[in-house]
Amino acid sequence: EYSSNLCGSTYIDKEFIRYLCENFELYNALQQLQIHNYDQLQYLAQEFCKKVKLPFTGDPSTFKPVSIDLEDSCPAIVKYVTGDIRERMIDAEWMIELGYDDVKAMFDPVVQRIISHIGNHLSTSKSKYEAMFLVGGGSENQYIQDQMKLAFSQNFSMIGSPKQPITAIVRGAVQYELEKNRNISSASHGSAQYGLNMQNNILGVPQSKHVTSTESEHVTSTESEHVTSTESEHVT
- 26-41 pLDDT, tens digit each: 999 999 999 999 999 9
What pLDDT was estimated at residue 134? 85
Q: What is the pLDDT of residues 158-209, one digit of tens each?
A: 998 877 777 766 777 777 777 777 765 444 544 544 444 444 554 566 554 4
Rounded Cα–Cα distance for residues 160 and 140 (Å): 10
From CA 22, how far away is CA 132, in angstroms rounded? Answer: 36
Helix ranges, the chain (H): 10-24, 27-36, 38-48, 70-73, 83-91, 100-124, 142-152, 165-184
Per the prediction, the chain carries an average pLDDT of 80
Closest CA to 130 of 155, 161, 163, 149: 155
Q: Do the strands 194-198 and 217-221 form a parallel or antiparallel pair, or are they unpaired?
A: antiparallel
User: Please, is 16 exposed, middle or buried when counting C-beta atoms within 10 Å of its C-beta (0-12, 13-18, 19+)?
Assistant: buried
Q: What is the pLDDT of residues 97-135, one digit of tens each?
A: 999 999 999 999 999 999 999 999 899 888 888 898 888
- 93 CB contacts (<8 Å, ≥6 apart)? 69, 71
For the stretch 6-28, pLDDT in tens is: 677 899 999 999 999 999 999 99
Question: Over 70: is that where the pLDDT of 229 sits?
Answer: no
Share of the chain above pLDDT 90, in %: 54
CA 55 to each of CA 27, 63, 142: distance values in angstroms, whole numbers, following the listed order: 27, 9, 8
pLDDT given at position 212? 37
pLDDT of residue 215: 37
Please report, for residues 106, 161, 215, the alpha-carbon distance to residue 166 in angstroms, rounded to integers and kept in the order given: 21, 10, 20
Please report the pLDDT score of residue 174 as a whole number. 78
Task: Give the C-alpha distances (Å, rounded to integers) separating 177 from 137, 153, 221.
Answer: 22, 31, 8
Share above pLDDT 70 across residues of the chain, in percent, rounded to a whole number: 73
Kindly state the average pLDDT of the residues 41-58. Answer: 96
- Residue 225: is its pLDDT beyond 60? no
* Alpha carbons 106 and 223: distance in angstroms, whole number: 36
Residue ranges per domain, the chain? 10-104, 111-229
pLDDT at 14: 94
Q: In the prediction, which pLDDT does 100 show?
A: 98
Nearest alpha carbon to residue 203 among 8, 7, 10: 10
